[in-house]
Amino acid sequence: MDFSLTDEQRAIRSTIRSFVTKEVLPLEKELLHRQQRDNSGITHDELRELQLKARKFGFWGPSTPVEYGGMGLDCVDQSLLHMELGKTLVRFHLGGEADNILYDCDAEQRQKYLLPTIEGDISSCFAVTEPDAGSDLTALRTSARQDGDDWVIDGEKTFISHALDADLAIVIARTDPDANYRTAYTAFLVERSMGFSTAPIVTMGQMQPATLSLDGVRVPAANVLGEVGDGFRLAMRWIGRGRYIQPSRAVGAAERLLGMAVEYAHVRRTFGKPIKDHQAIQWMIADSTAELEAARYMTLLAAWSADHDDETRVATSAIAKLTVANWACDIADRVLQIHGGIGYTQELPIQLWVRDLRVLRIYEGSDEIQRRTLAGQVLSGRYKPGGHLG
């Protein structure tokens, strides 16, 4: 059993770490000012400029196949990369990416939607969550009915990431009201010009999701993604990708935060000595370090399982999503506590980390859903602790 990284993995990590340090971290001071002023974040133009700079570094489309101009990285390599990207408060993501289910486009859709999305000429969002259907995808009510050569879609989606700027929405809608949920839904490629509208949802963190409304939106039959009735499978595939990407980002954030705590513990003095000499602080540092390292390897195991299409992948990804999200929140809270009153102010970025990390326990599969999934895997016998070892 070898836990060391390959030379290629070390090179990827070193290069993206250098890019984040040089190009992204310097933007954090301005980001904090914007947050204090009007709760705004990085602009679309700033993000695009950073993505093009990263492209010159060789980072473009980490998950995008090489034949589409991407890096074609496996899941473990992507996890290592996202751990580095997670170390900055700036909500930066690399360009050259497309929603994984867009690769189910047919030849015409590929030219019209997939390739322009990869190049960044159009932006997309994935619209599945509804006001009364979050974790329970079987409760989706957005409907699509055939009318001649078109489908007419009615419904409302909510908490849709990237919807405000999206030119294209991948909308999951019910096309057969009487079918089993596995065949009742279909995915549609809906252009904004076809008539959907969006409105922002204000959150406690930097995320800017939106509601997405469809009122009699007509979509050509040619814009069905995959096959009619294939929407549930595509939705689950889209959701599954985040089960190791989001924990990877959380590991990066926790590592950055812990580093801040260690640095502060050396310079802050109380009762005549640095606070690092107080046992209460030492225990918080120790607990955070133990959780961080456990989180790192749980996340990498989930990514490894995904790479190998291992039979334990469902359980290991649920374990990673559940535990890492909670540990990252706990570490952020301890780091704030170590900083005391100054940590609670908006002068330091800790308060923003605390708010941003909290959503990890909710979106792309809440804590409760991960527990439900994991319990089902164990009780059915599909997963046994240590099962990935054979």
pLDDT < 50 positions in the chain:
none
Give the pLDDT score at 390. 67
Clarify whether 364 is annotated catalytic. Answer: yes
In whole angstroms, give the CA distance from residue 12 to residue 81.
7
- One-character DSSP codes across 133-187: BSS-GGG---EEEEETTEEEEEEEEEEETT-TT-SEEEEEEES-TTS-HHHHEEE
Give CATH superfamily name and number for 7-97: Acyl-CoA dehydrogenase/oxidase, N-terminal domain (1.10.540.10)
Q: Where are the domains of the chain?
A: 7-97, 106-110+122-225, 233-389
Output phi, psi for 179, to 5 deg.
-85, 160
Cα angle 382-387-390, degrees, rounded to a multiple of 5: 120
In whole angstroms, give the CA distance from residue 367 to residue 361.
6
Q: Tell me which fold the domain 106-110+122-225 belongs to.
A: Butyryl-CoA Dehydrogenase, subunit A; domain 2 (2.40.110)
In whole angstroms, give the CA distance from residue 154 to residue 144.
6
Bridge partners, 199 (sequence order): 211
What tens digit of pLDDT does each residue of 258-297 get?
Answer: 999 999 999 999 999 999 999 999 999 999 999 999 999 9
Q: Tell me which fold the domain 233-389 belongs to.
A: Butyryl-CoA Dehydrogenase, subunit A; domain 3 (1.20.140)
Give the pLDDT score at 35. 86
Placement of tokens 């979509």 in the chain:
219
Give the DSSP letter of residue 201.
Answer: -
In whole angstroms, give the CA distance from residue 321 to residue 302.
9
176-179 long-range CB contacts below 8 Å, 24 or more apart?
176/229, 177/143, 179/229
Output phi, psi for 152, to 5 deg.
-110, 120
Active site residue: 108, 293, 364, 368, which one? Answer: 364
Q: How far is CA 163 from CA 10, 34, 113, 158, 369, in A?
A: 35, 21, 16, 10, 24
